[in-house]
Chain A
Amino acid sequence: MKFLSLVWSNLKRKKTRTALTLLSVFVAFVLFGLLCAIKEAFTAGVTMAGADRLISRHKVSLIMTLPVTYGPRMEAIDGVDLATHWTWFNGIYQDEPKNFFGSFPVEPISFLEMYPEYTLPEDQLKAWLNTRTGAVVGTTLVERFQWKIGDRIPLKSPIWPREGDEAWEFDIVGIYGTTENRGDPSGFFFRYDYFDEGRVNGKGEVGWYMVRVADPDRADEIAAAIDAEFANSPYETKTEPEGAFAQGFVQQMGNIGAMLVAILSAVFFTILLVAGNTMAQSVRERTEELGVLKAMGFSNGLVLSLVLAESCVIALLGGLAGLGVAWAITAGGSPVPDMLPVFFLPKPYLVIGVGLALGLGLIAGIFPAIQAMRLQVADALRRNA
C-alpha cells in the first residue's frame, strides 16, 4: 500500500500523456459495455426465456396458424399446466410502417398468468376484462407515442382486415411493466375475443401457443407428447422450449457474438498498443530513476511490480470509468426502443469488464516492466553521466 503513492506520483509526471491514455482506455470500455448491451438486446429472447415454458407453432412455419381449439387439448396433456396463445397482428399505426411495434391479440387471464414478468395493476386488469376493445401497452411504447390511459388508438392490419374494412380501434386501459429486465416493454396487447369477432378471415385461428409445464425437467418429453397429439392433422405442431426457439431466432440474424468479439478484439488490440507504447516510453524516460531505486535496494521484483501497477492503475481507472458510463447509459433505457426494446448491461459483463481492464493493464505493462526489471543498475546510472 505504501508504494501506491509512489505509483500515483509517477502517473502525474506527464499529465497529458496519462490523461490521453486514460481516455483511450475509457473509450474502449464504454464501447465494450455498450456492445455487450447490444448483444444482450439481440439475445434477450434467450435469456428471458422461462425454463418452464414451451412454444408450440405450426410445423411448416411460424406464419401459419393453428386452431384456437388446440389450447384446451394441450392443457389436457399430462404435465401441461397452462396454455395461452399469441397471434401476430402486424398493426400499423397512422398508416406509417415506420411506426412499427409488436401488437398481439391474447387471452388476458392466461396470458398474464403465463408471464409473471409482465406486471399490471389490479384495477387496470379489471378494466381490461371489462372493456372489449381494451388494450394494455408496455412502458416504452407509451413513452414513444406519448399515449396515456383512456386514449383511443386506431390500428390497421394488412394481415387481418376488419369487417367493413375499417381500422381496428383500441382503448388503452392499462400500462404494463416488466420486472428484472425480463419481458418486452414495447408490446401492445389486446383482447382475442374482440379480434376474433371482428376479423374477416381466419376466424378461430391463432398464431402460436405458449405452454407452461409443471416440471421443467420433463419439457422435452411433454413437447414430444404435444406434437404427437396433433400429428397427421392438417395442423401439425412443432413444440420446443422457449429458450431453444429464441436461440434459433437469434442465430438467424447471423453470428452476432462472433462479430462483436471481432470488433472488440480490434478495439482492445489498438488500445493495448497505445497503452503499451505509453508505458514503454515512460519507462525509457525513467531509466536512471529506476537505476537509483535499484541502487537503493529495490529488488527486481519490486521494480517490476511498480511498473505493472502503473499500467494496471491506468487500465483500471479508465476501465471502471468506461464501464460506469456504459452502465449509466444503458440504465437510462434503450436509445432505439423500437429496434432493441430490452437494453441493459447485465452484471456478469461488468465483472468480465473489470477482468479485461486488469488484463489490459498487465499485458500493456509487462514488456516495459520486464525491461525495467532487467536494467543493470550500473548501466542505468551511467546514462546520465
Chain B
Amino acid sequence: MSESNGVLVRVENVEKNFQRGSEKVHVLSGLNLEVPDGTFLALMGPSGSGKSTLLNLIGGLDRPTTGSVEVGGDRIDKLSGRQLAAWRARHIGFIFQFYNLLPVLTAERNVELPLLLTHLSKSERRKHVETALDVVGLSHRTRHYPRQLSGGEQQRVGIARAIVTDPTLLLCDEPTGDLDRKSGDDILELLQALNRDHGKTIVMVTHDPHASARASHTVYLDKGQLSLEPPE
C-alpha cells in the first residue's frame, strides 16, 4: 500500500447531500479530515450530526456528493460499485452497534464469512478464524449461535469477524452503544489492544465520552463541520 506521509485516510472538501422528499438536506459541507496510520480516532457528535454518514463514506458504503475520499492511497469515491465491494473486502473491517451477526450461523461461521470472499482453502480459513477468536478471547464458544451468547460476547464475535481478514482499517459504529458499562469497557480495552499491539487503525463513532476517552484522538462533528473541541 502506498502511504503518503503516514496518512491512511484523507477526506477533502467532502459535501454530502440527501434528497428527502422535495427537500435537500446538507449533511456534510466542505469537510476535511486526515487520519494518520496507527491512530485510534473517536468521532463524536450529537445524533443527526453526520457521524455515521462520514463513517460510511470512509468505509466505501456511500459516495460523497462532491469532494474526494482517499484511503491508503486509493481514491475510493472514484471506484465502481463492484470495485468498492472488493475493496471493502480487502481493506475494511466493520463493527456495528447491534453486532449484526447472522443468527443462523455459529460464532465461528460468522467469523468465517468475510473469508469466503478470499481464495483461502478451508483449512486456512479455519486457522484464521481460530486466531481471530483467540485474539478476542472467545476460543471456548466457537460453536455457539448468537442467541446463546451475551451482548458482550456477540460484540467480540463481531470484532473477530472484522479483523479476521487483517484489514487496513477498522470502522466501529457505536460499538458499546448496546452494552452495559462492564461489557462496554471490555470491548473498548479490546479495541485499544488491537490498536496498540496489532497496529490497527481504528475510526470509532460514539457519543459516549467514556468511550472516546479510550481513543488516542477525538474529533467532534457538528452541523456538518469538524472541530477538535467539543461544541458548547
Q: Touching in the complex, A and B, CB below 8 A?
A: yes
Interface residues of A (CB under 8 A from B): 2-3, 5-6, 9-10, 12-13, 288-289, 291-302, 376-378, 381-382, 384-385
Whether B104 is near chain A, meaning CB under 8 Å from some CB there, is yes
What is the predominant secondary structure among interface residues of chain A facing chain B? helix
- CB nearest to A303 among chain B residues: B85
Stretch at the interface among B5-13, B68-76, B111-119: B111-119
Interface size for B (C-beta < 8 A) is 31
Residues of A within 8 A of B98 (CB): 384-385
**A16 → chain B, closest Cβ, in Å?**
15
Beyond A2-B122, A381-B96, A381-B100, whether A299 also contacts B86 by CB under 8 A is yes
Residues of B within 8 A of A291 (CB): 100
Residues of A within 8 A of B81 (CB): 299-300
Stretch at the interface among B56-64, B134-142, B148-156: B56-64
**A339 → chain B, closest Cβ, in Å?**
49
A-B pairs with lowest CB-CB distance, top 5: A297-B89, A297-B88, A299-B85, A9-B104, A377-B61
In the complex, which residues 9-66 of chain B have their Cβ closer than 8 Å to any Cβ of chain A? 52-53, 56, 59, 61-62
Contact B103–A13 (Cβ < 8 Å): yes
**B203 → chain A, closest Cβ, in Å?**
14
Interchain CA distance A6-B52 in the complex, whole Å: 29
Q: With A294-B61, A297-B86, A384-B98 given, can you name 8 additional A-B contacts, CB distance below 8 Å?
A: A13-B103, A292-B96, A292-B102, A295-B59, A297-B87, A298-B85, A299-B81, A378-B62
Interchain CA distance A13-B102 in the complex, whole Å: 10
Q: Which residue from A2, A5, A296, A381 sits with its C-beta under 8 Å from B114?
A: A296
**A292 → chain B, closest Cβ, in Å?**
4
Interface residues of B (CB under 8 A from A): 52-53, 56, 59, 61-62, 81-82, 85-90, 92, 94, 96-98, 100, 102-105, 109, 113-114, 116-117, 122, 161
Interchain CA distance A12-B106 in the complex, whole Å: 13
- CB nearest to B171 among chain A residues: A295
Interchain CA distance A288-B90 in the complex, whole Å: 21
Contact B82–A299 (Cβ < 8 Å): yes
Contact B104–A385 (Cβ < 8 Å): no
Residues of B within 8 A of A300 (CB): 81-82, 85
Contact A384–B85 (Cβ < 8 Å): no
Residues of A within 8 A of B89 (CB): 296-298
Residues of A within 8 A of B109 (CB): 5, 9
- CB nearest to A5 among chain B residues: B109
Q: Which residue from B97, B100, B104 sits with its C-beta under 8 Å from A292?
A: B100
Residues of A within 8 A of B113 (CB): 6, 293, 296
Residues of A within 8 A of B117 (CB): 296-298, 302
Interchain CA distance A208-B192 in the complex, whole Å: 97
